[in-house]
Amino acid sequence: MRILGIETSCDETGVAIYDDEKGLLAHQLYSQVKLHADYGGVVPELASRDHVKKTIPLIKATLAEAGLTPSDLDGVAYTAGPGLVGALLVGATIGRSLAYAWNLPAVAVHHMEGHLLAPMLEDTPPPFPFIALLVSGGHTLLVEVKAIGEYQILGESIDDAAGEAFDKTAKLMGLDYPGGPLLSKLAEKGDSARFTFPRPMTTVPGLDFSFSGLKTFTANTIAANDNDDQTRADIARAFEDAVVDTLAIKCKRALKQCHMKRLVIAGGVSANRHLRVKLEALMTSLGGEVYYPRTEFCTDNGAMIAYAGMQRLKNGEHNDLGVKGFPRWPIDQLMTIKS
């Protein structure tokens, strides 16, 4: 079985074809970063308009890359949420319409389930059960994963998501959008010992996160110090250390609470090198393992949507003729797939 996956929930147009037996056959990505850079963040209307322009050409290019025609496909999966409603509706309308025209089932995919399952595309996929730390621009979630769709949310951010905190702090520091990777690069030259930022909500019980205070702490530290290159790098380092440490403390707590030794990290921030190193050290100390997607599949992409869509299609899940778009869609409302 082969499925086409379409991702348009935010500022990346992603398209991929996944084959149940052969794995990923082709994938293409168009990033809108340049389009939004002047505005310092994603402009939803511009994002939607650009998806309108890019999605069909990208689908054609992906089919060509795989050497396939629509008649070789068995389904069309598209991201139905959560995300920006206009952007979602572009992928959903195109995906649903192509499925109708090609007489194929259409599958509405949950974007965060796509992220959660992205490590399954790697050579050594994580076996169930595991704890998943999902860290993207829109969400920070700690999830107990017993099977595909059997998700219990253990904790989430009560304000900014981890990626959002990176981006907003980077903006404060005068870095371009999207600031996360740039802030992380700046932090590499920073000295960890110079500033110590708080580790929010780690001294209280529970698995929720709060990152918005770190932004204010960064602003105050910038105001109280010189603006030379080393100081900027030291501040970036202190911020990154605080986010990474906080995430690691909560992962350790979640693993202990659920008596597990397997951790999956996914979503844009899982590309962060410092976070990976920290969580690898944590899992070594606990005698467990950590799994994550290859860097290009940490951030938004069509491959994860095609993979998640394939699992849902094989489970007999596909939609009626409605175009599905859910800007808010809790991940624990998905159907469990019993193996």
Q: What residues make contact with ligand KG4 under the rule CB under 6 A?
A: 10, 136-138, 163-164, 166-167, 178-181, 184, 267-269, 271-272, 299-300
Helix/strand/coil (H/E/C) assignment for every residue in the chain: CEEEEEECCCCEEEEEEEECCCEEEEEEEEECHHHHHCCCCCCHHHHHHHHHHHHHHHHHHHHHHHCCCHHHCCEEEEEEECCCHHHHHHHHHHHHHHHHHCCCCEEEEEHHHHHHHHHHHCCCCCCCCEEEEEECCCCEEEEEEEECCEEEEEEEECCCCHHHHHHHHHHHCCCCCCHHHHHHHHHCCCCCCCCCCCCCCCCCCCCCECCHHHHHHHHHHHHHCCCCHHHHHHHHHHHHHHHHHHHHHHHHHHHHHCCCCEEEEECHHHHCHHHHHHHHHHHHHHCCEEECCCHHHCCCCHHHHHHHHHHHHHCCCCCCCCCCCCCCCCHHHCCCCCC
Span of 135-143, 177-185, 283-291, 312-320 interacting with Zn ion by CB under 5 A:
135-143
Pick from 8, 13, 32, 136 the residue near Zn ion by CB under 5 A: 136
Residue 166, binding choice from ligand KG4, Zn ion, none, Cβ under 5 to 8 Å by partner class: ligand KG4
Q: How many CB atoms lie within 10 A of CB 208?
A: 18
Q: Is 255 annotated for ligand binding?
A: no
Could you say whether residue 11 binds Zn ion (CB under 5 A)?
Answer: no
Q: Is 180 annotated for ligand binding?
A: yes
Q: Is 14 annotated for ligand binding?
A: no
Pick from 50, 160, 234, 300 the residue near Zn ion by CB under 5 A: 300
Residue 50, binding choice from Zn ion, ligand KG4, none, Cβ under 5 to 8 Å by partner class: none
Q: Is 167 annotated for ligand binding?
A: yes
Q: Is 50 annotated for ligand binding?
A: no
Taking the complex as a whole, the smallest distance from the CB of residue 299 to ligand KG4 amounts, in Å, to 3
* Site size for Zn ion (CB under 5 A): 2
Taking the complex as a whole, the smallest distance from the CB of residue 187 to ligand KG4 amounts, in Å, to 9
The nearer residue to ligand KG4, 160 or 234, going by C-beta atoms, is: 160
Taking the complex as a whole, the smallest distance from the CB of residue 62 to ligand KG4 amounts, in Å, to 19
Q: Is 315 annotated for ligand binding?
A: no
Q: Is 19 annotated for ligand binding?
A: no
Taking the complex as a whole, the smallest distance from the CB of residue 219 to ligand KG4 amounts, in Å, to 18
Q: Is 36 annotated for ligand binding?
A: no
Residue of 72, 105, 78 whose CA lies nearest to 16: 78
The nearer residue to Zn ion, 19 or 300, going by C-beta atoms, is: 300
Query: Which residues are annotated as part of the binding site for Fe cation?
Result: 111, 115, 300
Positions in the binding site for Zn ion (CB under 5 A): 136, 300
Query: Which residues are annotated as part of the binding site for substrate?
Result: 134-138, 167, 180, 272
